[in-house]
Structure 1
Amino acid sequence: MTGTDRPLVVSLLAGDGVLGAFGLGVAAEVFGYDYTRFGLPRFDFAVVTDRPGIVRTDTGLALYVEHGLERLTVSDIVLVTAWEKLSAPVPPSVLDALRAVHARGGQIVSHCTGAFVVAAAGLLDGRRATTHWRYAGELAARYPAVEVDPRVLYVDEGTIITGAGTASGVDALLHLVRREWGSTAATALAREMVVPPHRDGGQAQFIDTPVARCEDDLLGLVLDWARAHLAEEISVEVLARRALMSPRSFARRFKATTGTTPHAWLLDQRLSAAETLLEGSDASVEEVARLVGFGTAAGFREQFARRRGVSPRTYRQTFRTGAVVRAARDDGDAA
């Protein structure tokens, strides 16, 4: 979704006369404003429905939608927000439109129960997907060809991303921005939205165990320390010692608090730091590997390619130019 001067067309699909208000708000925040100063492209954002006119939201507010499904034929990104009437069949015209978007390589992102619509179109067959944990069992039962994972925040299957409920819609869209336009753009956008810049899709949708406030504060200090010392060798034992806990207790508390393991969290932090360096510095891949705490450049390349789908060099070639142009422009503005 790069290399074009025209605005990218982004359409939010309102389902069966009902629109998810939270999903609309998140989508409008990401795609409804001019963020070209962050290195993002221009977006042409609008809501579509199969029957243009007054569409109510799930909170009762009404919205006038002027665009019909024909807009999907020119959309680069189609967002499918929460679908309220799960028991009713999805209109065939909607399913056909989504299939056509997918067939020509358009990006589809579902939020919450929007995954049911994508699944009804047959686009999730043989793929991993997620939805709000409350509806995951129903999604799996209704569409057995879909590998439903109720634990995660979002699942990236290339041209289809499925997100879980409510706030994970923010995570899924920031992930898309990060994947398509780089870590620098995603971080700047997250700062503008006043949200965390990156939560890995593998994190849990919810946490089972309440955590005492004082332990949260201490764990936060430990995580801040770890982020500032990624170049060092950091083990669970090192983190546990700083938290004044046994390694076993620390690992259990870490999982209960964050929904992921210390190892997975450290890996994600190192990869995120590496992206920032690849975009915004001239450090070699070997130097980046050292600065973010990978033992060898070969190990770094392997992990980066496995988690990001491209090599560090390709990632830099994709996103470095935009970072340099923005930096030069910022320097000129400052002058």
Structure 2
Amino acid sequence: MSLTLDSYRLLGRSGLRVSPLALGAATFGTEWGWGAERDESRRLFDRYIEHGGNFIDTADTYTGGSSERLLGEFTRDNRESLVLATKYSTLRRPGDPNSGGNHRKALFSSVESSLGRLNTDYIDLLYLHLWDFTTPVEEILRGMDDLVRQGKVLYVAISNIPAWQVSRMQAIADLRGWSPLVALQIEYNLIERTGERDLIPMAREMGLGVIPWSPLAGGVLTGKYGRDDLNAAATTATGDGTRRSVTIANGALTERNLAIVDVVREVAAESGHTPAQVGLAWTLRNPDVTAAIIGARTSAQLEDNLGALGVDFTAAQAARLDAASAIDPGFPHAMLARDTTLALTRGDLRVEPRR
């Protein structure tokens, strides 16, 4: 079914309406060596808005703070029409142990800094960016709730964290009357599907909208890498400032992944779309996904990504993509799905699953 950016969706267990593709602003600024200059960033922002988009994603340390500063400039005339999402947790001052992490001091300091850079009085959606394995969940949840009560944050969310911690936090928030988590941001794409084991089912059950980051697997699903890059992966320096080196360092270039890309290319050729559009469209087919984050660096890339909203797969094409990228569900999921296991609880009765 074809979509448009103004085919708005509710974000998790909230009434907030967001576009099915979020504009990722990690590419706004060149401090990381591969982003967009200010003028190109402005064109990306304007084109996204012109197409009806309203969901913008950034973080306090993206491009050294330039991402938030540029968004503060770009949103000056239409701030109320947008849903601005930012994050906290990453180290903001090297050598200062309390400038990063999930604790209350880092949370409040980061939010105050983000509000200044974004030139706004409030943040629509605040994510905990990275789990630090040390901060008590009650401290995190109470701090987030205090920010909501102060009006500095409207909704809170979480990313890059084990599923059991999220479900625990959501239960505590519900029981204590604190602001619930409304979104879960995870890596999810045709190459990285392990979130289907626990994270995505947990989000469905606990009322969180799933927001995939890197839906094109760092550009691998665009088809721009080939077998020659597998050899280069062993020798390419990871600090040369290119997106390719980051992709190599993250281990995204493997024979398995390139085999998936082969199928993506085949489906793209059959359907008259680009591999990037096929990769994005596959992610959006999952009913648990609210919006995928696109991270274009040029206007041409943005227009290509937006074309994913018009992609329709045949049943056979969807099945081929699913089969090529299938993962082992692992324990206990594989065991519980066996016919022999089901027979122990159902016998020969037919019981429809809850949807």
Return the TM-score normalized by structure 1.
0.31
* Larger RCO: 1 or 2 (CA < 8 Å, sep 6+): 2
